[in-house]
Amino acid sequence: MRVLLTGHQGYLGTVMAPVLTAAGHEVVGLDSGLFADCVLGPTPADPQGHRVDLRDVTADHVAGVDAVIHLAALSNDPLGSLAPELTYDINHHASVRLARLARDAGVGRFLYASTCSVYGAAGGDDLVTEDAPLRPVTPYAESKVRVEDDLHALADDDFTPVFMRNATAFGYSPRLRADIVLNNLVGHALLSGEVLVLSDGTPWRPLVHAADIARAFTAALTAPREAVHDRAFNIGSEVNNVTVAEIAEQVAEAVTDSKVVITGETGADPRSYRVDFSRFRAAIPGFDCEWTVKRGALELADAYGKFGLTKEDFDRRFTRLAVLRAASDAGTVDDTLRWRG
């Protein structure tokens, strides 16, 4: 298939592009490149791609494409809360526009990167399925719910949207993010000796490795239409339904001479949910996640050590919000996060 992969220069896209290529697909990227230089380790060999803002996509970008995998977004709860209108413009309106253009161009399948954050304050100990009520507690999560609603309305005999509700990702990607929980805790532990948890550690936070997300999308791309058409899927595995305190314990075991410190200063986080991932396994026989939290912590510790992660890079270069603030302060992007000049 000829696949348009938006967000191909992001954390997940950089891992997904080679997996798609290895499966025999022709990948065309589309990204404004906000984090293209946020690289740890060897510079990735990106597929051919368009450097374009999602808000400026035209029919030409989707012409001749068989499927779209749509990852590009402002992907972060704090970021979304800082600039809610921008989050809705990019994550919601521009995404729906892209989907309309794709449908009009005859693109058959549209895999949308949604999130388990749509369950928000699900609370309780029951596993949430895809049929659970959606209770987003941030503009980021709300933007994802709105896109799911609008894409659902576009589904028809020729256009198959699929809602991939990913758990929180972890694991090494050449375009690293250190602002997601496991990647953050491992980095902090290596750099300071402390596995620092600012919440009280009680929230449930289902995790999934970036490579398992890439495999799940690749499988959904060619799955029989009736198995995935207009359906939502939680992407992850039950063994990685963990509390933040449990994640911290795993990190302390993976990083030599580190110890867990739970400050509790931010109190209980309202985002707490345990997730049932069985629907995707049923739809895609043979699929299961390969990575555990422990193995991911070991992988990250190894990569951070091997590629010389520094405190400066950890705090600034690999934290999405800090990168965008720095670009804005330096005047390289305007206040709508478009490149100047």
Ligand X SMILES: NC(=O)c1ccc[n+]([C@@H]2O[C@H](COP(=O)([O-])OP(=O)(O)OC[C@H]3O[C@@H](n4cnc5c(N)ncnc54)[C@H](O)[C@@H]3O)[C@@H](O)[C@H]2O)c1
Least distance in angstroms from the C-beta of 259 to ligand X: 26
User: Smallest distance, Å, CB 188 to ligand X?
Assistant: 17
- Cβ distance to ligand X smaller for residue 179 or 260: 179
Question: Which is closer to ligand X, CB of 35 or CB of 119?
Answer: 35
Binding flags for ligand X, 80-109, as an x/- string (CB under 6 A) = ----------x-------------------
CA dist., res. 198 & res. 231, Å (int)? 36
In 3D space, the residue among 55, 59, 75, 56 whose CA is nearest the CA of residue 9 turns out to be: 75
Q: How big is the site for ligand X, counted in residues (CB under 6 A)?
A: 28
Q: How far is the CB of 53 from ligand X (least distance, A)?
A: 4
- Closest distance to ligand X from the beta carbon of 140 (Å): 7
Nearer to ligand X, 169 or 242 (CB): 169
Is 241 a residue that touches ligand X (CB under 6 A)? no
Nearer to ligand X, 33 or 123 (CB): 33
C-beta separation of 49 from 31 below 8 A: yes
CA distances from 107 to 90, 238, 329 (A): 21, 33, 39
| CA dihedral (318, 46, 160, 100) positive or negative | positive
Span interacting with ligand X, options 96-104, 161-169, 245-253, 321-329, rule CB under 6 A = 161-169
CA-closest candidate to residue 309, choices 300, 299, 297: 300
Per DSSP bridges, beta strands 204-209 and 241-243 are antiparallel
Please give the span between the terminal C-alpha atoms of the chain, in angstroms, as a whole number. 35
Please pick, from the candidates 3, 54, 178, 211, the single residue that binds ligand X as defined by CB under 6 A: 54
Which x/- pattern, by CB under 6 A, does the window 23-52 give for ligand X? Answer: --------xxxxx-----------------
Range 56-61 contact pairs with CB under 8 angstroms and sequence separation of 24 or more: 57/30, 57/94, 57/97, 57/98, 57/101, 58/101, 59/101, 59/104, 59/105, 61/4, 61/30, 61/101
Q: Does 216 help bind ligand X (rule: CB under 6 A)? A: no
* CB count in 10 Å sphere of residue 257: 8
CA–chain centroid gap for 85, Å, is 20
| Contact pick of 83, 107, 115, 258 for ligand X (by CB under 6 A) | 115
Residues 62-81, interacting with ligand X (CB under 6 A): 71-75
CB of 325 to ligand X, least distance (A): 14
Q: Which amino acid is at 244?
A: V
Sequence-distant (6+) residues with CB within 8 A of 165 are 114, 115, 116, 118, 130, 232, 233, 234, 235
Q: Report the distance separating Cα 298 and Cα 311, nearest Å.
A: 19
- State the minimum distance, in angstroms, from the CB of residue 110 to ligand X: 13
**Shortest approach of ligand X to residue 139 CB, angstroms?**
12
User: Can you name the residues that pair with 68 across neighbouring β-strands?
Assistant: 4, 110
Name the residue nearer to ligand X (CB basis): 188 or 320.
320
68 vs 30: CA distance, rounded Å: 10
Residue nearest to ligand X (CB): 10
Beta carbon nearer to ligand X, 32 or 199: 32
List interacting residues with ligand X (CB under 6 A).
7, 9-13, 31-35, 53-55, 71-75, 90, 113, 115, 166, 168-169, 177, 180, 320
